Amino acid sequence: MIGVILWSDKQERKAVVWCEDQGDLAFLGCGSTQYDHLDQLTEGDILEFDVKIDGDLRRVNNPVLLTGYTTGDVAAGLINNAQDTEAPMVKILAFPNPIPANVASDFPAKMAL
């Protein structure tokens, strides 16, 4: 599965991850040596991982940090983007009313008599 870190605590080495299947969030607890190479995870980082079900929780298992993506403050980026789009320039295009097709003949209904 692929996910994005929404929140992380570098001191505690924990993170909350949004998953691509849009199911429950997954929790990453980096208390074991298995995650030592991921001690600098931060919000916006993209991971590939297995999901392990632990009672009612989904846990990140075998995480791999995907490279090639820029990281940053996801929350600030969303807020800045929302502020930039408060007064969008909108151009409305008029489209002609569609002419329904005659299903039996694939000709427009006006032509199929």
Q: pTM of the prediction?
A: 0.58
3-class SS of residue 53: strand
Question: Which fold would CATH assign to domain 2-65?
Answer: OB fold (Dihydrolipoamide Acetyltransferase, E2P) (2.40.50)
Q: What is the residue type of 56?
A: D
How far CA 13 is from CA of 44, 64, 70, in Å, comes to 15, 15, 21
pLDDT above 90 coverage of the chain, percent:
19
110 versus 16: the higher-pLDDT residue is: 16
Give domain limits for the chain: 2-65
Span 57-96, pLDDT tens digits: 899 998 888 875 555 565 666 667 766 555 556 677 666 6
Least confident piece of the model among 45-59, 65-79, 98-112: 98-112
Return the pLDDT at 65. Answer: 86
Helices (H), 5-73: none
14 in Cβ contact with 30 (< 8 Å): yes
Return the pLDDT at 59. Answer: 92
Span 7-41, pLDDT tens digits: 888 778 788 999 999 899 999 885 554 566 666 77
Return the pLDDT at 9. Answer: 82
What secondary structure letter does DSSP report for 40? T
